[in-house]
Amino acid sequence: MSFWTYWRNRLGLHESRCTFCLRPFQIQNLPPASAFLSDTQLCSHCLPHFAPCTAPRCQRCGLPMPKSDVTHTVCGQCLTHDPPWEAHAFWGRYEGALRQALLRLKFDGELSLAPFLAACLLQAANCLPGPDALLAIPQHPEHLQRRGYNQAHELAKQLHTLTGLPLQPNLLKKIRHVPAQASLNASKRLHNVEGSFAAATKVRGMRLWLLDDVMTTGSTLLAACRCLRQAGAVGVSVLFVARTPRYA
């Protein structure tokens, strides 16, 4: 045994490790939960915690709806103000392990989670019309400089790698620096992002996938989507990893 082989074995560099908890595991011993999840780098302990959302939801914005309310397929907000996007898709509810993974990606810089989360996005996107290009919700340059990366763009880059779809981040820019959405209620969030985006003229005639990590009230996606449609995009589908319950 060579010196390098000895130390690779001692350090566990030949082991497969779970993307989420980093435990070593044997891929062939995973339970067959689903064709997609069984192929991901998740151990048998973490696998069940990343199952897709199958609960009733609003068909326009994905808002979780009570199981007892089987007669309504669109929430009251969307009935009153229909969103400007053509379609939407997401993987799961913003809770549990999926919430932890997204927080680690966004605030802890664990970009190693981006490929797995992008694979979840790809599975969710099966219901969307095919795009000419994809892009992520942009950050204002000051925000981007402070954080060092845009978690939504990291997801878009990985989805580009998985699909080969053109990634065109310059189609949309954040032109106004605004307070963080997390500190605001639903009504203030919508006002907060008005006029924050500018779209490139080349979006005219394009069909796009617009990506984000989480949809809470939808204010940011609404503002960005309206901007793209006003610039001439013929269709915009929004794609995000997780959806929160109703937000006050």
Give per-residue pLDDT as tens, 185-244: 555 656 667 788 999 999 999 999 999 999 998 999 999 999 999 999 999 999 999 999
Average pLDDT over residues 78-90: 95
pTM: 0.86
Residue 248 has a pLDDT of: 42
Q: What is the mean pLDDT of the chain?
A: 86
* Environment class of 170 (CB within 10 Å of its CB; exposed 0-12, middle 13-18, buried 19+): exposed
Residue with tokens 């203030």: 188
Q: Would you mind telling me the total number of residues written for the chain in this entry?
A: 248
Q: Which residue has the tokens 């954040």?
A: 174
Q: 3-class SS at 3? A: helix
Instruction: Please tell us whether the domain made up of 56-243 is placed in CATH 1.10.8.
Output: no
Cα torsion 164, 165, 170, 176: sign: negative
φ/ψ of 89, rounded to 5, equals -155, 145
Q: Please check whether residue 225 is in contact with residue 85, taking contact to mean a CB–CB distance below 8 angstroms.
A: yes
Among residues 202, 246, 201, 242, the alpha carbon closest in space to that of 64 is found at 246
| pLDDT greater than 90 at residue 13 | no
CB distance 87 to 59 below 8 Å: no
> Number of H helices and number of E strands within the chain?
9, 8
Phi first, then psi: what are they for 20, rounded to 5°? -90, -55
Domains in the chain: boundaries: 3-39, 56-243
Average pLDDT over residues 126-137: 96
pLDDT at 195: 83
Question: What is the predicted pLDDT for the residue at 42?
Answer: 84
- Residue range 32-61, pLDDT digits in tens: 445 556 566 788 889 889 989 988 999 999
State the amino acid at position 96 in one-letter form: G
